[in-house]
C-alpha cells in the first residue's frame, strides 16, 4: 500500500458531531476560517434553525455539504415500527435536499435478539421502500457498515462485503456505501471488497478517524488520526485506487476530545489529517 | 436452527476465570459438588501449587480437564520477542500435559500498528514452530478467533474462516479451532465456516457466554447465557451438526458477576446453561 501524502485541505470534510460542543453556526464559522471545504451535518444540528435556514447558512459560507448523518435503523418488531422508520428516513432525505447534501448516511439498525438475517432482510426492504422518495429528491443513500461490536443494536451490516451485497440486490444508482476505517480496518477481505465497491460504482463516502489502544468506551473513544493503530493512509490508497475522488470525512466521537478546547482540537484535526491520513 | 435442549450437566465445563474469586481448590470443590464434569484451567490458577500438584488435585476430584487457557500471543517486533513467545507456548504445552489437558487454547496475538497480515504470518509461523513440542506432549492447539474489537492487541485472527485457513496451511491433526460464541456470533459466514471447521476435523472446542446490550467494558462485561442477544442454542446446533461432541465451556469475564457471591453465580450458570444454551 503506497499512497500520496495529502498536501492541502481541499478534500477535508468534518462531521459536525466531531466538534460536538459547537453549534452549526460555530462549526460553519470555524471550519471556514480554517480553510476546510467540506462539512457533513448531523440531523441534531438542524434542529435549532431548521433545514431550510441551515441550508442557507451553509451555502452562504460556501461550504460543500457532503452528507446528512444519519438515516437508517430500519429493523422493527412490528410493521408499524418499520413504517415509522421508513417515514423518518423520508424526512431525513427531505432534510438532505434542503441543505444541499447529495447523500444520507445510513446506520442500518439491529434489534437485540432478532436474528441478524431477519434484520438484514428488513434493512434491504426498508431501503427499497425509500428509493422513490430519494430519487424524487435527488438524494443518494450511503450504507455504512458498522463494526461488529455494534451488531446487537446499531447495525446488522458489519462488513463492506455485506453492504456491497445489499447494493447488488437493490441495483440502484442511488444506493452505495460509506467506508469508515473505524468499522472495517480489521477485515481481512477489506482490500478486495473496496475494489469491488469502486468497480460497481458503490463507493459514495470515506470516513476517517483512529482506533485507540486501549479503547475505553465502545461508542465515544475514537482516536484522532495518528493516535491509534489504523493504517489510514493504506486504506485511503485502496479507496483511491478504487476510483474514489470525494472528501475524506473526519468523524470522531470522543469524550476525551469533546472535553478539550475545540479550537485546539480543530488545529489537531488539521495536523492529524495532513500527517496521518 | 433447531437444537435439542440440554437435559443435564454431562457436557458442562467451566473456565476457572469465570469464577475468578475462587482458587483452583475452591473451584474444584464447588464444581464437583454441583455435578459439573468439565473444567478448563487458566494458567494463573496453576501458580499456587504448580502444574504437577494441580494436576493431581484435578484427577483426584475426577474432573475432566478440557483445556489449558491460554497460549498464543505470537507476534513480536523482533525475532527475540517472537522466540520468547514460542518458549512461553512450549511451557504452556508442558503445563497442559502435566494437568492432563488435551489442548491449549491459543489467543493468537496482535501488535498495535503492525499490519494484521504480518501478525497473521507470525502467528502461523509461531504455531508451526511449536508443533513438534505439542506432538511430543500429545497436546493439541486450539486457535480461538477473537472478536474484531480485539484486533489491535489481542488477536489478528478474528473469524472462524481465518482460523480454518491457518489450520489448512499448517495441515496438522494437532491444530484446530475453539469457537467462542462471544467472538463470532455476528459473522454472516459463521454457519458455513463452522460446517467447514467440522468437516475438516478442526472443531476442537466450543465456548459459551452472552453479549450484553449495552456492553460497558470491552473486556469484562460478558453476559451469562440468557442475559444477552446471542442465539447460543442455534450456534450450538451448528456446532453439533458439524460433528462436535465435546464440552460446552462457560467462559465469562464479568466484573458484575465477580462482585457477587460466587455460589449464587454458579447456581445461575447451571440455570443459564440448562435454559439458554
Q: Does A112 touch chain B (CB under 8 A)?
A: yes
Task: Please state, rounded to an integer, the average pLDDT across all residues of chain B.
Answer: 97
Residue B1 has pLDDT above 60, yes or no: no
Mean pLDDT for the stretch of residues B25-44: 98
Chain A residues with beta carbon closer than 8 angstroms to that of B214: 153, 218
Interface with B, mutate which of A2, A180, A229 (most B CBs under 10 A)? A229
Instruction: Note whether B160 and B145 are within 8 A (CB).
Output: yes
Q: Does A153 touch chain B (CB under 8 A)?
A: yes
From A149, A151, A231, residue closest to B115, measured CB to CB? A231
Q: Does B158 touch chain A (CB under 8 A)?
A: yes
Kindly report the pTM of this predicted structure: 0.97
Interface with B, mutate which of A186, A193, A222 (most B CBs under 10 A)? A186
Nearest chain B CA: its distance from A236 CA (Å): 15
Residue A90 has pLDDT above 80, yes or no: yes
Joined together, the cell numbers standing for residue A170 give 437493490
Contact A213 B112 (CB under 8 A): yes
pLDDT on residue B2: 55
Instruction: Note whether B188 and A116 are within 8 A (CB).
Output: yes
CA distances to A115, B67, B131, B175 from B205, rounded to whole Å, are: 24, 9, 19, 12
How many residue pairs bridge chain A and chain B with CB atoms within 8 Å of each other?
Answer: 67
Contact B152 A116 (CB under 8 A): no
pLDDT on residue A3: 76
pLDDT on residue B102: 98
Mean pLDDT for the stretch of residues A209-221: 98
Q: What is the CA radius of gyration of chain A?
A: 18
Residue A2 has pLDDT above 70, yes or no: no
Residues 171-210 of B with CB under 8 A from A: 185-188
Q: Nearest residue of B to residue A113 by CA position?
A: B229
Per residue in A164-213, pLDDT tens?
A: 999 999 999 999 999 999 999 999 999 999 999 999 999 999 999 999 99
Percent of chain B residues topping a pLDDT of 90: 98
Joined together, the cell numbers standing for residue B269 give 450458570
Contact B152 A211 (CB under 8 A): yes
Nearest chain B CA: its distance from A128 CA (Å): 21
Nearest to A244 by CA among A127, A108, A142: A142
pLDDT on residue B226: 98
Residue A116 has pLDDT above 60, yes or no: yes
From B148, B159, B229, residue closest to A113, measured CB to CB? B229
pLDDT on residue B73: 98
Residue A1 has pLDDT above 70, yes or no: no
Nearest chain A CA: its distance from B33 CA (Å): 34
Instruction: Note whether B273 and B225 are within 8 A (CB).
Output: yes
Contact A115 B231 (CB under 8 A): yes
Mean pLDDT for the stretch of residues A251-265: 98
Q: Does A159 touch chain B (CB under 8 A)?
A: yes
Per residue in B106-161, pLDDT tens?
A: 999 999 999 999 999 999 999 999 999 999 999 999 999 999 999 999 999 999 99
Interface with B, mutate which of A152, A166, A223, A226 (most B CBs under 10 A)? A152
**Dihedral sign, CA of B272, B274, B275, B277?**
positive
The set of residues, in sequence order, having a beta carbon less than 8 Å from that of B121 and lying 6+ positions away, is none
ipTM: 0.96
Q: How far apart are the first and last CA of chain B?
A: 13
Q: Does B231 touch chain A (CB under 8 A)?
A: yes
- Alpha-carbon gap, residue B70 to B15, rounded angstroms: 11
Nearest chain A CA: its distance from B26 CA (Å): 32
Contact B112 A229 (CB under 8 A): yes
Q: Does A52 touch chain B (CB under 8 A)?
A: no
Q: Does B169 touch chain A (CB under 8 A)?
A: no
Q: Does B52 touch chain A (CB under 8 A)?
A: no
Nearest chain A CA: its distance from B152 CA (Å): 7
Residue A14 has pLDDT above 70, yes or no: yes
CA distances to B34, B171, B182, B204 from B5, rounded to whole Å, are: 20, 35, 20, 22
pLDDT category at A269 given cuts 50, 70, 90 is very high
Q: A205-239 in b/e burial notation, b at 16+ Cβ within 10 A?
A: bbbbbbbbbebeebeebbbbbebbbbbbbbbbbbb
Residue B4 has pLDDT above 90, yes or no: no
Contact B149 A152 (CB under 8 A): no
Residue A248 has pLDDT above 70, yes or no: yes
DSSP letter string over chain B?
---PPP-SSTTEEEEGGGGTTS-HHHHHHHHHHTT--EEEEEGGGGTTTHHHHHHHHHHHTTPEEEEEEEEE----SSHHHHHHHHHHHHHHHHHHHHHT-SEEEEE-B--TTS-HHHHHHHHHHHHHTTHHHHHHHT-EEEE----GGGTTTTBS--SHHHHHHHHHHH--TTEEEEEEHHHHTT-TTHHHHHHHHHHTT-EEEEEE-EE-SS---TTTBEEPTTSSS--HHHHHHHHHHTT--S-EEE---BHHHHTS-HHHHHHHHHHHHHHH-
From B148, B161, B216, residue closest to A186, measured CB to CB? B148
Chain B residues with beta carbon closer than 8 angstroms to that of A218: 149, 214-216, 218
Nearest chain A CA: its distance from B273 CA (Å): 18
From B152, B162, B218, residue closest to A229, measured CB to CB? B152
Interface with A, mutate which of B75, B111, B152, B192 (most A CBs under 10 A)? B152
Q: Does B237 touch chain A (CB under 8 A)?
A: no
Mean pLDDT for the stretch of residues B89-115: 98
Amino acid at each position: 500500500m503506497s499512497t500520496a501524502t495529502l498536501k492541502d485541505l481541499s478534500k477535508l470534510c468534518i462531521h459536525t458531531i466531531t466538534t460536538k460542543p459547537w453549534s452549526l453556526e460555530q462549526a460553519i464559522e470555524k471550519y471556514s476560517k480554517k480553510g476546510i471545504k467540506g462539512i457533513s451535518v448531523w440531523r441534531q444540528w438542524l434542529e435549532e434553525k431548521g433545514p431550510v435556514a441551515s441550508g442557507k447558512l451553509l451555502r452562504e459560507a460556501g461550504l460543500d455539504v457532503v452528507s446528512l448523518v444519519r438515516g437508517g435503523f430500519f429493523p422493527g418488531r412490528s410493521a408499524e415500527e418499520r413504517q415509522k422508520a421508513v417515514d423518518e428516513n423520508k424526512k431525513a432525505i427531505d432534510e438532505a435536499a434542503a441543505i444541499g447534501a447529495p447523500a444520507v448516511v445510513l446506520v442500518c439498525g439491529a434489534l437485540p435478539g432478532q436474528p441478524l438475517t431477519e434484520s438484514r432482510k428488513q434493512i434491504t426492504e426498508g431501503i427499497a421502500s425509500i428509493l422513490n422518495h430519494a430519487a424524487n429528491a435527488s438524494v443518494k443513500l450511503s450504507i455504512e457498515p458498522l463494526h461488529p461490536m455494534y451488531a446487537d443494536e446499531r447495525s446488522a451490516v458489519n462488513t463492506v462485503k455485506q453492504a456491497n451485497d445489499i447494493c447488488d440486490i437493490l441495483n440502484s444508482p442511488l444506493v452505495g456505501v460509506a467506508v469508515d476505517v473505524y468499522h472495517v480496518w480489521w477485515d481481512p477481505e477489506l482490500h478486495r471488497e473496496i475494489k469491488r465497491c469502486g468497480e460497481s460504482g458503490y463507493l459514495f463516502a470515506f470516513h476517517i478517524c483512529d482506533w485507540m489502544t486501549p479503547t475505553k468506551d465502545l461508542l465515544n473513544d475514537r482516536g484522532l488520526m495518528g493516535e491509534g493503530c489504523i493504517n489510514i493512509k493504506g486504506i485511503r490508497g485502496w479507496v483511491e485506487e478504487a476510483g474514489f475522488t470525494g472528501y475524506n470525512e473526519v468523524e470522531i466521537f470522543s469524550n476525551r476530545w469533546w472535553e478539550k478546547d475545540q479550537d485546539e482540537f480543530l488545529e489537531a484535526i488539521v495536523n492529524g489529517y495532513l500527517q496521518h491520513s
